[in-house]
């Protein structure tokens, strides 16, 4: 059996590294976190010639091995630690043909670590369009490597890259330059103090806050024969090293790369003038958002109706075809409705991820970041804060992790605290079911009222996040300075394969992540709703028959009354009744109260909870939407889910901190329970007050 090769995929941001990873691994990939830290880890399997398998790790994007963020530290620590199980047999450095000079800085640094390194020059299909020609043979000779010229868009050069990876032992590990020439005396003394260590590894340990093997910075400083330098002197040496590398890169590219400026057709600057314009830029972004939310509704209605009816039929089939008993009841009234409550939203969530992926792939999202920096500055945030705020529309957890790129602690803390206000995909099921119940289906200027309501909720969440940031900026007395730098990638047509993989991966993560919670909670809720203490529950049939003896109910009506009486006096009914006085002023009954409490585990559980509660004891083949629409308000009469209670619920979920996972990640990122506790208390209190005012005004 052949040995598995470890391959590290490394490159600057926006070089198409993810496209190369997808081209090599396809669906054989998974996403997790590096042990102990909240940095995303993507890995996959690639089949190479002669039956060899490659384990490919897509490392976080980095401009150089001079780390300035936790993401970049991950790259360095892996490349320095030979004992790590993921230590690469070969490094594949992905560069972009239009930014080759900048990309080669990282390449020359990795070569100094004496790891077999292949250079991938991506986006080769743009060479003629940009007037670029390359002398590959010359570049290979002077960079002492093998080069794969590829185009992931046209699927060209991928097999050549696989061949180079499988023949990694033939690739030279000689460095491109002698970095120790920047201070020969210093590096000679370092070499004498650690004769068995690679000199460039030692240099990285000295200049970065990273460790490798058993050697760390303190140990190097402790060697008496080695004279350490001050931090400012080390910074100057780093600058000298960077200058030396760029001198080498410039000399190589003088002959290895030719750019005919007259041939380059540049549409980018014309598009940028419009898309980042101080008026048109915002207007275009607003129109794009409107289009997205309208499409989410229009495109997904047919598959959603189909899924809704399938789960209702499946639940009815389980009741009629399976042997009667507790297991059948659990399946028909707990598990199937609970899962149906989340599966129904797959179409809309998939479409949301589809649009976000297209915006990122096309290069437009970077323009949005640049555009929003003008606004963010006024509220005590940096333009970089927009990345977590926008990615929070998918999930607050990775969004909060993304704040690690913000250098200023104050701006980072504020961003962490306000990000949960942005509407995440877990809120989407709650919004969609309530909007469908209380907002009419009419249109205004061709746009549906329901789509406009959904967009308004997104804007309210974003607006609240920004306004909260403004208040926190005034309250928090933390001194910090920061600068905003964002790279504008080239515009490109999104790759269908990349978009498809992103949608599948993100939707799958949402469904299975939420599915596990919902399945567990559905089982618990079914048990609590199917059993209860005392005579009121156990003797429900006799009590109902005695109470309604004069009403001459038929068998179906009688059974419905018995089921309703049992539910009211079950464990869950008693719990709901206990909290009902606190939530009745908001227009909610005890069933909604149970759904709100259970959804503190995860917001999307709200719909699954109601699906389970409304299914218990119900023999009718009805969808959850129909059951919710038929609920009557016990105090005011009329539908329980009316305009006033619906808007109240929507606003409650827009502002409440109902996600235990988010609180856990805030604790981890801030290293304190103080901030997540404040988040939970303040957001929940704010949500309650806003929902109360909304219901009282609208009822």
Least confident segment among 182-196, 279-293, 295-309: 295-309
Whether the pTM exceeds 0.85: the reply is: no
Query: For residue 308, what pLDDT is reported?
Result: 79
546 a known binding residue?
A: no
15 a known binding residue?
A: yes
Query: For residue 297, what pLDDT is reported?
Result: 66
Answer for the pair 428, 350: CB distance below 8 angstroms, yes or no.
no
Distance CA 91, CA 7 (A): 6
Q: Where are the alpha helices (DSSP H) in 540-642?
A: 540-547, 555-568, 571-583, 590-598, 605-615, 624-629
13 a known binding residue?
A: yes
pLDDT at 219 over 50: yes
Please report how many Cα atoms fall inside a 13 Å half-sphere around the Cα of residue 694, on the Cβ side: 22
pLDDT at 327 over 90: no
37 a known binding residue?
A: yes
Answer for the pair 365, 384: CB distance below 8 angstroms, yes or no.
no
pLDDT at 317 over 70: yes
Query: For residue 148, what pLDDT is reported?
Result: 92
Query: For residue 354, what pLDDT is reported?
Result: 84
Distance CA 60, CA 10 (A): 7
The 10s digit of each residue's pLDDT in 440-498 is: 888 877 778 888 898 899 889 989 998 999 999 888 877 665 555 566 777 778 888 88
Mean pLDDT of 559-564: 73
pLDDT band at 213 (very low <50, low <70, confident <90, very high): very low
Percent pLDDT > 70 in the chain is: 83
Nearest to 494 by CA among 365, 367, 350, 362: 362
Residues with Cβ within 8 Å of 613's Cβ and at least 6 positions away in sequence, in order, are: 525, 529, 567, 572, 591, 594, 595
CA triple 534-536-541, angle to 5 deg: 125
Answer for the pair 299, 347: CB distance below 8 angstroms, yes or no.
yes
Report which of residues 38 and 349 the model is more confident about: 349
Q: For residue 402, what are its two tokens?
A: 């993304």
73 a known binding residue?
A: no
Least confident segment among 253-257, 263-267, 461-465, 491-495: 263-267
Distance CA 159, CA 164 (A): 9
DSSP letter, residue 340 = H
Query: For residue 34, what pLDDT is reported?
Result: 41
61 a known binding residue?
A: yes
Q: For residue 275, what are its two tokens?
A: 């898309």
Mean pLDDT of the chain: 80
Distance CA 125, CA 130 (A): 10
Q: For residue 68, what are its two tokens?
A: 């300035």
pLDDT at 193 over 60: yes
Answer for the pair 102, 12: CB distance below 8 angstroms, yes or no.
yes
pLDDT at 35 over 50: no
pLDDT band at 32 (very low <50, low <70, confident <90, very high): low
14 a known binding residue?
A: yes
Distance CA 189, CA 223 (A): 11
DSSP-assigned states of every residue in 398-440: HHHHGGGG---HHHHHHHHHHGGGS--TTHHHHHHHHHHHHS-
Nearest to 212 by CA among 57, 83, 35: 83
Report which of residues 89 and 330 the model is more confident about: 89
**CA end-to-end span of the chain, whole Å?**
72
38 a known binding residue?
A: yes
Q: For residue 41, what are its two tokens?
A: 């880890």
pLDDT at 149 over 80: yes
DSSP letter, residue 15 = S
Report which of residues 508 and 164 the model is more confident about: 164
Q: Are strands 146-149 and 5-11 parallel, antiparallel or unpaired?
A: unpaired
Distance CA 147, CA 139 (A): 8
Pick the CATH number of 5-170 from 3.90.1640.30, 3.40.50.1980, 3.30.300.30, 3.40.50.300: 3.40.50.300
Query: For residue 36, what pLDDT is reported?
Result: 42
316 — phi, psi (to 5°)?
A: -65, -40
644 a known binding residue?
A: no
CB atoms within 10 A of CB 572: 28
23 a known binding residue?
A: yes
Q: For residue 215, what are its two tokens?
A: 């050697």
485 — phi, psi (to 5°)?
A: -130, 125
DSSP letter, residue 89 = S
Domain boundaries, the chain: 5-170, 280-426+436-475, 497-698
58 a known binding residue?
A: yes
The 10s digit of each residue's pLDDT in 655-674 is: 998 777 778 778 877 878 89
Distance CA 66, CA 423 (A): 36
216 a known binding residue?
A: no
Distance CA 14, CA 694 (A): 45
Q: Where are the alpha helices (DSSP H) in 276-425?
A: 280-321, 326-330, 336-343, 346-362, 364-376, 386-391, 396-401, 409-418
DSSP reduced 3-state for 319: helix
514 a known binding residue?
A: no
Query: For residue 402, what pLDDT is reported?
Result: 66
Nearest to 346 by CA among 290, 303, 378, 387: 303
Q: Which helix (H) or strand (E) holds 74?
A: helix 70-80
pLDDT at 199 over 50: yes
The 10s digit of each residue's pLDDT in 55-65 is: 999 988 888 88
Q: For residue 219, what are its two tokens?
A: 């140990």
Residues with Cβ within 8 Å of 354's Cβ and at least 6 positions away in sequence, in order, are: 499, 503
pLDDT band at 393 (very low <50, low <70, confident <90, very high): confident
Report which of residues 336 and 560 the model is more confident about: 336
Distance CA 533, CA 507 (A): 41
Query: For residue 690, what pLDDT is reported?
Result: 96
Distance CA 510, CA 136 (A): 44
Mean pLDDT of 304-320: 84
54 — phi, psi (to 5°)?
A: -115, 130
125 a known binding residue?
A: yes
Nearest to 53 by CA among 92, 123, 97, 4: 4
DSSP reduced 3-state for 177: coil
CB atoms within 10 A of CB 135: 14
Distance CA 514, CA 506 (A): 12
Distance CA 9, CA 55 (A): 10
User: Any idea which residue has 């227009």 for tokens?
Assistant: 587
Query: For residue 697, what pLDDT is reported?
Result: 93
Mean pLDDT of 138-148: 92
pLDDT at 220 over 60: no
Length of the chain: 699
Mean pLDDT of 561-566: 76
Query: For residue 245, what pLDDT is reported?
Result: 92
612 a known binding residue?
A: no
Report which of residues 343 and 287 the model is more confident about: 287
Mean pLDDT of 300-324: 84
Report which of residues 2 and 56 the model is more confident about: 56
Query: For residue 369, what pLDDT is reported?
Result: 75
pLDDT at 684 over 70: yes
Mean pLDDT of 421-450: 83
DSSP reduced 3-state for 60: coil
Distance CA 522, CA 532 (A): 17
Answer for the pair 154, 129: CB distance below 8 angstroms, yes or no.
no
124 a known binding residue?
A: yes
Q: For residue 452, what are its two tokens?
A: 């406009």
161 — phi, psi (to 5°)?
A: -65, -45
Answer for the pair 205, 220: CB distance below 8 angstroms, yes or no.
yes
Answer for the pair 491, 267: CB distance below 8 angstroms, yes or no.
yes
């Amino acid at each position: 059996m052949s040995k598995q090769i470890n391959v590290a995929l490394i490159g600057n941001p926006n070089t198409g590294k993810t496209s190369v990873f997808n081209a090599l691994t396809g669906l054989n990939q998974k996403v997790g976190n590096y042990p102990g830290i909240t940095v995303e880890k993507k890995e996959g399997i690639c089949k190479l010639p002669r039956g060899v398998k490659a384990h490919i790790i897509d490392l976080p994007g980095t401009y150089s091995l001079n780390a300035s963020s936790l993401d970049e530290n991950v790259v360095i620590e892996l490349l320095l630690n030979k004992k790590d199980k993921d230590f690469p047999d070969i490094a594949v450095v992905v560069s972009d043909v239009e930014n080759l000079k900048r990309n080669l800085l990282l390449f020359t640094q990795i070569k100094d670590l004496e790891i077999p390194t292949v250079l991938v020059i991506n986006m080769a299909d743009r060479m003629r369009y940009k007037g670029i020609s390359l002398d590959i043979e010359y570049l290979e000779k002077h960079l002492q490597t093998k080069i794969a010229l590829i185009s992931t868009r046209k699927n060209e050069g991928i097999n050549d890259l696989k061949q180079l990876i499988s023949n990694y032992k033939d690739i030279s590990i000689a460095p491109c330059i002698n970095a120790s020439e920047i201070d020969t005396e210093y590096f000679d003394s370092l070499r004498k103090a650690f004769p068995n260590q690679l000199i460039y590894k030692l240099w990285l340990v000295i200049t970065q806050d990273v460790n490798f093997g058993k050697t760390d910075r303190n140990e190097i400083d402790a060697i008496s024969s080695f004279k350490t330098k001050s931090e400012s002197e080390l910074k100057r040496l780093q600058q000298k090293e960077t200058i030396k590398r760029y001198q080498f890169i410039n000399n190589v590219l003088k002959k290895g790369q030719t750019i005919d400026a007259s041939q380059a057709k540049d549409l980018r600057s014309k598009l940028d003038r419009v898309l980042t314009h101080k008026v048109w830029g915002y207007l275009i972004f607003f129109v794009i958002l409107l289009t997205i939310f309208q499409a989410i509704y229009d495109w997904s209605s047919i598959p959603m109706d189909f899924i809704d009816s399938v789960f209702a039929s499946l639940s009815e089939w389980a009741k009629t075809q399976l042997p009667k008993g507790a297991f059948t009841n659990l399946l028909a009234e707990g598990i199937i409705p609970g899962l149906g409550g989340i599966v129904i939203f797959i179409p809309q969530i998939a479409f949301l991820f589809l649009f976000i992926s297209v915006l990122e792939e096309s290069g437009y999202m970077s323009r949005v970041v640049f555009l929003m920096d003008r606004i963010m500055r006024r509220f005590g945030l940096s333009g970089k804060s927009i990345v977590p705020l926008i990615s929070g529309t998918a999930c607050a957890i990775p969004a909060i992790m993304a704040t690690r790129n913000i250098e200023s602690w104050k701006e980072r803390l504020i961003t962490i605290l306000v990000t949960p206000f942005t509407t995440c995909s877990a809120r989407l099921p709650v919004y969609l079911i309530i909007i469908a119940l209380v907002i009419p289906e009419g249109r205004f200027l061709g746009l549906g009222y329901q789509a406009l309501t959904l967009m308004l909720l997104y804007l309210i969440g974003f607006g609240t996040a920004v306004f909260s940031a403004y208040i926190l900026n005034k309250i928090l007395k933390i001194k910090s300075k920061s600068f905003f730098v964002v790279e504008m990638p080239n515009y490109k047509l999104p790759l269908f394969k990349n978009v498809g993989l992103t949608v599948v991966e993100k939707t799958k993560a949402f469904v299975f992540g939420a599915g596990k919670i919902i399945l567990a909670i559905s089982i618990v809720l079914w048990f609590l709703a199917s059993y209860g203490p005392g005579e009121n529950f156990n003797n429900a049939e006799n009590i109902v028959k005695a109470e309604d003896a004069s009403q001459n109910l038929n068998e179906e009506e009688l059974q419905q009354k018995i089921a309703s009486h049992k539910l009211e006096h079950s464990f869950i009914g008693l719990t709901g009744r206990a909290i009902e006085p606190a939530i009745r002023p908001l227009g909610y009954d005890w069933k909604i109260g149970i759904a709100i409490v259970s959804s503190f585990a995860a917001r999307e559980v709200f719909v699954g909870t109601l699906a389970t509660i409304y299914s218990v004891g119900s023999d009718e083949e009805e969808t959850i939407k129909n059951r919710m629409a038929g609920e009557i308000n016990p105090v005011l009469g009329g539908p329980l889910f009316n305009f006033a209670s619906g808007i109240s619920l929507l606003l409650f979920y827009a502002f409440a901190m109902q996600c235990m996972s988010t609180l856990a990640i805030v604790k981890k990122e801030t290293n304190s329970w103080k901030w997540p506790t404040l988040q939970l208390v303040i957001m929940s209190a704010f949500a309650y007050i806003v929902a109360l005012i909304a219901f009282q005004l609208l009822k």
